[in-house]
Amino acid sequence: MTILPWHIWMILGIGFVIVEIFDPAFFFISFGIGAILTSILSMLPFINNSIPLQVLSFALISFISFLFMRKLGKKILSHPGSETNVFALKGKQGFVTKEIPADGKGYVKIGGEEWVAMEENQQAVELDAKVTIIGIEGNKVIVKRI
């Protein structure tokens, strides 16, 4: 069996894509796209026997692909995502299960969990009042009456 140039380009392209899976920096995917598209182009008669033309098309396609992938990568990687753990409680609403005295601590229920709570301005909040979580301080939630 004869190995044709498009076989080599396709193997390189798949290899670069696999490397990108383990190094998600949007760098190797450009080479993968360039090699796969060069593989397809190298099946055409006018580029089939010209290695310099194949290398040139690989470089050009990879460069153009890199510019697009860089823009896409910046957009995806700059998005911080949603908060996790206790910080995801910010903005949620709950209700007071044990009165929060002025300058003291009480309890609020948020979803299915009960948390130690303090009112943001150190004011008293009565039982069953609706509150919004505005912050986290240690193991306490800071609340504001709605």
**pLDDT per residue over 60-101, tens digit each?**
999 999 998 888 877 777 766 666 677 788 999 999 999 999
Please, which residues bridge with residue 110 across strands? 113
What one-letter code names the amino acid at 123?
Q
Q: Is the pTM of this model over 0.85?
A: no
Phi then psi for residue 84, to 5 deg, are -130, 175
Domains and CATH numbers, the chain: 5-78 (no CATH), 85-145 (2.40.50.140)
**Residue in this structure with the two tokens 């240690």, named with its chain if needed:** 138
Cβ contacts of residue 145 below 8 Å, gap of 6+? 119, 123, 125, 129, 130, 131
Rg (CA), the chain: 29
- pLDDT tens per residue, range 88-146: 889 999 999 999 999 899 999 998 899 999 999 999 999 999 999 999 998 899 999 98
